[in-house]
């Protein structure tokens, strides 16, 4: 198997699984219990949270642990005030993941345009911020094309608006949220440097366990819980803590930070190799994208058919976000960067990762070339 869909899911690293195991078998205690073994588990949980928080320049108390990025994204929108009912109260990038787009639309959100290269149109953002705007949501790395958004520049725009409001005596909040699910293992993230008030993290994209995420919450952001109960996570996410998951998340974060520069260089090299050996494609994400993302267009060929043909040859790729691809829905991300329906239909996403090696990269290029050539021949003779 040559797996080239790490943006959809990553396997749990064996070192992550190893540190998680005791918390399933021997240290299984409820952290809220009063006896000593439970208190030790609670302490381990706090240390693990601190490890995750430290990786983004935050403190343990700044994090709310969730059941994944979708819940974290939804929780971020609970920062909206009760009177945030106008269309302009929420702005979101039109290429956002559905877990942002859907909740933003529920709050009457308005989409901010992107340029043809996938970067935010800052002029459109400035034009759409009004005195009613309370929340702007822009992912750090897009989950379909890997484009890295200039969050620090966006934060600068927001600071200017906040300063202008302050001068005019307007007290309405204005927060910046970013879904960084695809970024933690390849970018050096610091919440203060990026200027975000809320940031979503996801263990499942960095060789940690599925079903574990986190939301960074600055002191400016005041959230409302989505669930009520025992008051865990500072009252924002009740329910018995997922101790094994958070222990694994912390280990995955440690490994990601330790190998950050090496992984970037490795993936950048493999990306160049693939692009030099593949034939007959148009590269969609030419600039500003993370090192392990490659989006190719084979115009005139059905990419969904290519996915199945490549699977038969042991190569696993995708046509975009897994949740959208499984429904057969046209990519809103590719449409937003002005690709035609034919170009969207012929686009593949390849995302490199730790299951790969250099030999696989050469093999994958050869197999993809052969499959594409055979499909072109089939179409010519049809």
How far apart (Å, rounded) are the C-alpha atoms in residues 321 and 116?
Answer: 19
- pLDDT at 378 exceeding the cut of 70: yes
How far apart (Å, rounded) are the C-alpha atoms in residues 72 and 249?
Answer: 15
- CATH of the domain spanning 2-10+260-373: 3.90.1150.10
- pLDDT at 324 exceeding the cut of 70: no
How far apart (Å, rounded) are the C-alpha atoms in residues 23 and 208?
Answer: 15
Q: What does the block give as tokens for 307?
A: 């996915």
* pLDDT given at position 322: 46
- pLDDT at 358 exceeding the cut of 50: yes
* pLDDT given at position 289: 95
How many C-beta atoms lie closer than 10 Å to residue 43's C-beta? 11
Q: Is residue 6 within 8 Å of residue 352, measured between CB atoms?
A: yes
Q: What distances in angstroms separate CA 293 from CA 242, 284, 334, 338, one per listed residue?
A: 31, 10, 14, 19
Start and end residues for every CATH 3.90.1150.10 domain found in the chain:
2-10+260-373
**Residue 236 exposure: Cα atoms within 13 Å on the Cβ side:** 25
* pLDDT given at position 230: 87
**Which three-class secondary structure state does DSSP give residue 91?**
strand
In the predicted model, what is the mean pLDDT of residues 343-355?
95
How far apart (Å, rounded) are the C-alpha atoms in residues 209 and 205?
Answer: 9
- Catalytic, 297? Answer no
In the predicted model, what is the mean pLDDT of residues 31-46?
95
Question: Tens of pLDDT along 107-158?
Answer: 889 999 999 999 999 999 999 999 999 999 999 999 999 999 999 999 999 9
Start and end residues for every CATH 3.40.640.10 domain found in the chain:
14-258
Banded model confidence at residue 88, pLDDT cuts 50, 70, 90: low
- pLDDT at 323 exceeding the cut of 60: no
| Residue 49: Cβ-neighbour burial (10 angstroms; 0-12, 13-18, 19+) | buried
Average pLDDT of the residues of the chain = 93
How far apart (Å, rounded) are the C-alpha atoms in residues 295 and 227?
Answer: 38
User: Could you say which of 226, 322, 323, 367 is catalytic?
Assistant: 323
How far apart (Å, rounded) are the C-alpha atoms in residues 4 and 291?
Answer: 13
- CATH of the domain spanning 14-258: 3.40.640.10
Banded model confidence at residue 84, pLDDT cuts 50, 70, 90: low
Q: What distances in angstroms separate CA 173 from CA 83, 130, 158, 162, 319, one per listed residue?
A: 12, 12, 11, 8, 38
Tell me the pTM.
0.93
Question: Tens of pLDDT along 162-218?
Answer: 999 999 999 899 999 999 999 999 999 999 999 999 999 999 999 999 999 999 999
């Amino acid at each position: 198997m040559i797996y080239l869909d790490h943006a959809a899911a990553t396997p749990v690293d064996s070192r992550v699984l190893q540190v998680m195991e005791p918390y399933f078998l021997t240290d299984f205690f409820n952290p809220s219990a009063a006896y000593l073994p439970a208190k030790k588990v609670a302490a381990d949980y706090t240390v693990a949270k601190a490890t995750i928080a430290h990786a983004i320049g935050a403190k343990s108390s700044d994090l709310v642990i969730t059941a994944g990025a979708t819940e974290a994204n939804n929780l971020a929108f609970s920062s909206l005030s009760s009177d945030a009912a106008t269309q302009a109260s929420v702005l979101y990038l039109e290429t956002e993941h559905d877990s942002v787009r859907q909740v933003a639309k529920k709050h009457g959100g308005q989409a901010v345009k992107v340029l043809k290269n996938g970067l935010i149109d800052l002029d459109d953002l400035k034009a759409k911020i009004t005195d009613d705007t309370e929340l702007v949501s822009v992912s750090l790395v897009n989950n379909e094309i890997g484009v890295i958004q200039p969050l620090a520049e966006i934060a600068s725009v927001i600071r200017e608006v906040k300063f202008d409001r302050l001068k005019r005596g307007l007290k309405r909040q204005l927060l910046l949220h970013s879904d960084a699910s695809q970024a933690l293992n390849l970018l050096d993230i610091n919440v203060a440097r990026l200027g975000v008030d809320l940031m979503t993290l996801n263990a499942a994209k960095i060789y940690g366990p599925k079903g574990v995420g986190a939301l960074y919450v600055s002191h400016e952001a005041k959230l409302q819980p989505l669930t009520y109960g025992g008051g865990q996570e500072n009252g924002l996410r009740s329910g018995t803590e997922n101790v094994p998951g958070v222990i694994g998340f912390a280990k995955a974060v440690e490994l990601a930070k330790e190998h950050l520069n090496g992984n970037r260089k490795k993936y950048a090299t493999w990306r160049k190799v693939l692009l030099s050996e593949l034939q007959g494609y148009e590269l969609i994400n030419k600039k500003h994208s993370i090192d392990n993302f490659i989006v190719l267009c084979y115009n005139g060929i059905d990419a969904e058919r290519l996915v199945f043909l490549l699977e038969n040859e042991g190569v696993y790729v995708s046509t975009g976000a897994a949740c959208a691809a499984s429904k057969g829905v046209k990519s809103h991300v590719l449409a937003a960067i002005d690709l035609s329906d034919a170009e969207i239909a012929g686009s593949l996403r390849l995302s490199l990762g730790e299951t790969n090696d250099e030999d696989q990269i050469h093999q994958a290029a050869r197999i993809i070339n052969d499959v594409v050539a055979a499909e072109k021949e089939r179409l010519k003779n049809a």
